[in-house]
Amino acid sequence: MKKIGDRFWIGLISGLGGNLAKIAVEKVLNKSGFSKSNGYTTAAGIFLKKSDVSSPYGRVVGVIADNMVAAGLGVTSIYWLTLMGKNKYLIKGAGLGAAEWASLYGVVSKMGATASYPVKPKDAIATFISHLAFGMTKIAIAVKLGDSRLFKPNNLTVEIDEPQSLFTKT
């Protein structure tokens, strides 16, 4: 199977894939009545006033922002895997998801980065669970689709035979 040999592209793909898992968990928790939170509302609050977040255009801004943040976190997670290696990747993914939740939904939100703060305790628990799913899924996608040479510690550059291609042969 051809594997992706570019850290940016595998990060982008894994971040967006992980975001799908996060959204799925949020929807399950919302439908069960446990929570009312979702990532796009928090992301929209970065750019908009709280009163504009739930408007139709506010939801569009939120979806775009949520996916852009997820893609960026996907790219950074590839570099984390390069530094740490890919062994026990699900545990590392859960740890990254938890750290991202704590830093983005906790510290940065408290500093005023989003209008969607503070939240209720159940919503905080729900976003923590959804970020565990985000972290584990994005790392799993990266490990499954990424060229294994990308994840070897002390190997920050990868030489591939076809520099124009995103894929390498394994």
Give tens-digit pLDDT for 74-126.
999 999 999 888 889 999 999 999 999 999 888 887 777 777 777 899 999 99
Residue 67 included in any domain? yes
pTM: 0.85
| Residue 151 exposed, middle or buried by CB count within 10 Å (0-12, 13-18, 19+) | buried
SS3 label, residue 86: coil
Residue 137 included in any domain? yes
For residue 103, the enclosing domain spans 2-153
Task: Give the pLDDT band (50/70/90) at residue 138.
Answer: very high
Cα angle for residues 74, 116, 27 (degrees, 5° grid): 60
Residue 160 included in any domain? no
Please state the domain count of the chain. 1
Task: Supply the pLDDT for residue 108.
Answer: 80
Residue 166 included in any domain? no
Task: Supply the pLDDT for residue 109.
Answer: 79
What's the chain's average pLDDT? 89
Which of 18-27, 93-102, 148-157 has the least mean pLDDT? Answer: 148-157
Residue 159 included in any domain? no
Residue 167 included in any domain? no
Task: Give the pLDDT band (50/70/90) at residue 162.
Answer: low
Task: Supply the pLDDT for residue 161.
Answer: 54
Tokens of 142: 């990266």
Task: Supply the pLDDT for residue 104.
Answer: 86
How far does Cα 165 stand from its chain's mean position? 25
Residue 20 in this model has a pLDDT that exceeds 70:
yes
Which of 5-9, 33-37, 101-105 has the least mean pLDDT? Answer: 101-105
Task: Supply the pLDDT for residue 113.
Answer: 74
Residue 125 included in any domain? yes
Question: Which residue did the predictor score with more confidence, 64 or 116?
Answer: 64
Contact predicate 134/18, CB 8 Å: yes
Instruction: Tell me how far apart the alpha carbons of residues 104 and 22 are, in angstroms, rounded to a whole number.
Output: 15
Residue 114 included in any domain? yes
Question: Which residue did the predictor score with more confidence, 105 or 54?
Answer: 54
Residues whose CB falls within 8 Å of the CB of residue 141, separated by 6 or more in sequence, listed in order: 13, 14, 17, 18
Which of 35-39, 50-54, 106-110, 127-131 ranks highest by mean pLDDT? 127-131
